[in-house]
Amino acid sequence: MFEYFEGHVTIVTPNFVVLDVAGVGYKLLTANPYRYQENNDKLVRIYVYQAVRENEMALYGFIDQAEKQLFEKLINVSGIGPKSALAILANEDHSGLISAIANNDSSYLTKFPGVGKKTASQIILDLKDKITSLDQTDNVIVASTTNSSDPVELLDALAALEALGYRSKEVERIAKKLRELPQTSTDEYLSHGLTLLTK
């Protein structure tokens, strides 16, 4: 129904952003909300996918058409729901994902939350011949992983990782390594965290 919205990002949380389009705020669930910045002056285009279920309707947001296409392919795989698809897309190395599918690398896929060996095999089976056609052009509390001295950017990144479905123990393990980094943006912390979690 919708292809994209253009508006101003007014709210950024660990698992969604709100895009103001002509005075209407759309809640868009995204793989990495911190790629967007709250900015009332900058017009942003976000590609959207509308999911309608029996008792729920949700909008998912994507940085470009290629990411949206990849999401649509993933949710058509048995065992992959929208949340799992977003967790997979949060790692912005989409070429690595496509390569893993093309090369039958199920071990790469099982590093994502909610993806076991059976689901990884199903992804490869369903998408191996389709993936090459792609154009390559609620706040979460993270009690066990936070530290009172952590910068807010790190806290937001840790919350976003748990919102994506990574277990608290996994996030706690990599939180120690993230604290060793020079203080940076939430997006950078999140990117480093996803890299560590998928190694």
- As a whole number, mean pLDDT of residues 14-37 equals 94
Residues 57 and 69 reside in one and the same domain: no
Residues 87 and 115 reside in one and the same domain: yes
Q: What pLDDT band is residue 106 in, cutting at 50, 70 and 90?
A: very high
Selected residue with higher pLDDT from 14 and 132: 14
pLDDT score for 12: 95
* pTM for this prediction: 0.71
Alpha carbon dihedral 118, 120, 122, 124, in 10-degree steps, equals: -150
The most confident of the ranges 43-47, 130-134, 170-174 is 43-47
Tell me, yes or no, whether 22 lies in a domain: yes
Residues 29 and 56 reside in one and the same domain: yes
Assign 3-class secondary structure to 48-74: EEEEEECCEEEEEEECCHHHHHHHHHH
pLDDT score for 132: 57
Q: Is it the case that residue 93 has pLDDT exceeding 80?
A: no
- Indicate the length of the chain as a whole number: 199
Domain of 33 in residue numbering reads as: 4-62
pLDDT score for 142: 37
Q: Is it the case that residue 150 has pLDDT exceeding 90?
A: no
Q: Is it the case that residue 194 has pLDDT exceeding 70?
A: yes
Residues 167 and 187 reside in one and the same domain: yes
The rounded percent of the chain whose pLDDT value lies above 70 is 90
Tell me, yes or no, whether 142 lies in a domain: no
User: In CATH, what number is assigned to the domain containing residue 14?
Assistant: 2.40.50.140
